[in-house]
Amino acid sequence: MDLATIPLIDQHAHNILQPEVAAQYPYAAAFTESYYPEIIHHHAHHTLFYRRSLRDIAALLNCEAEETTILARRESLGLEALTQIYFQAANLEAIYLDDGLQPETILPLSWHERFISVRRILRLEQLAEQLISQSPDFATFLDRFNSEIDPPPSGVVAFKSIACYRSGLHIQPVTPEVAATHFEQLKQFSTQPLRLTDKPLIDFLLQQALLVAAKYRLPVQLHTGYGDPDLDLRFANPLYLRHLLESPQYRHAPIVLLHASYPYMQEAGYLASVYPQVYVDFGLAIPFLSISGMREAIRQLLELTPTTKLMYASDAHSIPELYYLGAKWGRQLLKEVLEQAVIDSDITIAEAEAIAIAILRENALSLYQSVH
């Protein structure tokens, strides 16, 4: 099986950093989820992911696999040429970008559109933070929030929530009265810039957005599983979503569990196998894990997940390398897992080929198609 010729839809990634901002961080900072200086300076260079990636990058840039040599080569090529090289080597057809991650430091969507077809993912908590600061009272805020998302702005193919980071996936029903009280408290005590961490308010707003998503059949991407230490990994288990998944009013809102829910792959696969609205991707787990870890993540997801519900993503951010590394290892390990399934006699080789195309592009195209 050769998956290199299948153009990818990367259904969840982030914008590349402005070069001036990227220059302030060590290169290895883009290869770790930690923001602690000790990790970034002393330990991030020593993961299996980083060691492997230096060789992958050097092979593509045609230089020695040493960080200093790679940095010099990057410098001489410049960000635009580098991006061109990596996007082309990744054989990407389109990327869907959540532009709500540190919005003041990233290059705009239009910059990426010079290289590739781009769609936008709207981050709900970031929108809420902007509007809370600008709104004198809860009624005004809620009105503005709803009118920003209903109808979804043109070019937006999905909503995204980082409730997992801010307060965990154990989302509970919240009445507008309770949400209003928490809004008032937040207005009174918050410092600028406002950072939304209030659980009842986050839960309330996500459920408002799910009603809109259900109305338009717009997918909602949820951060699940591991990430930076701002989240409590215990509450990143997608099994906590039971209340949302069981609520009939949200049933028509497709929910995409991001990041293979790592390390909760089997839990994510189970949810995708029983709830019609649940989909899963394997971004972040690929390319961040070791090779055997990545293989295991895809393998565990496929224990139960229908192959119509699993999607490729890189969760790439900050530097163009990550889009390529995700693509390279996503294709390679999907191929290995499917070939093993053929040997095991789960599927035929013809089925394996069709499944690969579905996971790398067609499932995303059909899920997001209705909103294009």
* Residue nearer to Zn ion on the CB measure, 267 or 315: 315
Q: Which two tokens stand for residue 342?
A: 């053929």
* Residue nearer to Zn ion on the CB measure, 158 or 355: 158
Residue 62 backbone zone (phi > 0: left; psi -120 to 50: alpha; other: beta):
left
- The least distance separating Zn ion from the CB of residue 289, rounded to whole angstroms, comes to 16
* Residue nearer to Zn ion on the CB measure, 79 or 316: 316
* Residue nearer to Zn ion on the CB measure, 200 or 227: 227
Q: How many Å apart are CA 307 and CA 311, to the nearest integer?
A: 9
Cβ atoms of residues 153 and 251 within 8 Å: no
Q: How many residues does the chain have?
A: 372
Kindly report the backbone phi and psi dihedral angles of residue 297, in degrees, each rounded to the nearest multiple of 5, phi listed first: -60, -50
* Residue nearer to Zn ion on the CB measure, 125 or 315: 315
Coil, strand, or helix at residue 123? strand
- The least distance separating Zn ion from the CB of residue 39, rounded to whole angstroms, comes to 19
Span interacting with Zn ion, options 62-70, 102-110, 307-315, 335-343, rule CB under 5 A: 307-315
Strand order in the sheet with 310-311: 8-14, 92-98, 117-123, 156-161, 220-222, 255-257, 278-281, 310-311
Kindly report the backbone phi and psi dihedral angles of residue 232, in degrees, each rounded to the nearest multiple of 5, phi listed first: -100, 105
Q: How many Å apart are CA 10 and CA 324, to the nearest integer?
A: 11
Span interacting with Zn ion, options 52-60, 314-322, 337-345, 356-364, rule CB under 5 A: 314-322
* Residue nearer to Zn ion on the CB measure, 141 or 165: 165
Residue 170 backbone zone (phi > 0: left; psi -120 to 50: alpha; other: beta):
beta
Span interacting with Zn ion, options 127-135, 184-192, 195-203, 308-316, rule CB under 5 A: 308-316
- The least distance separating Zn ion from the CB of residue 102, rounded to whole angstroms, comes to 12
- The least distance separating Zn ion from the CB of residue 284, rounded to whole angstroms, comes to 7
Closest by CA to 299, choosing from 291, 348, 152, 243, is: 291
**Total number of residues binding Zn ion (CB under 5 A)?**
1
- The least distance separating Zn ion from the CB of residue 174, rounded to whole angstroms, comes to 25
- The least distance separating Zn ion from the CB of residue 160, rounded to whole angstroms, comes to 8
Neighbours of 358 (CB within 10 A): 20
Q: Does 99 bind Zn ion (CB under 5 A)?
A: no
Q: Does 362 bind Zn ion (CB under 5 A)?
A: no
> Which of 315, 320, 333, 367 contacts Zn ion by CB under 5 A?
315
- The least distance separating Zn ion from the CB of residue 297, rounded to whole angstroms, comes to 16
* Residue nearer to Zn ion on the CB measure, 256 or 333: 256
- The least distance separating Zn ion from the CB of residue 372, rounded to whole angstroms, comes to 21
Q: Sign (positive/negative) of CA torsion 123, 128, 129, 135?
A: positive
Interface positions with Zn ion (CB under 5 A): 315
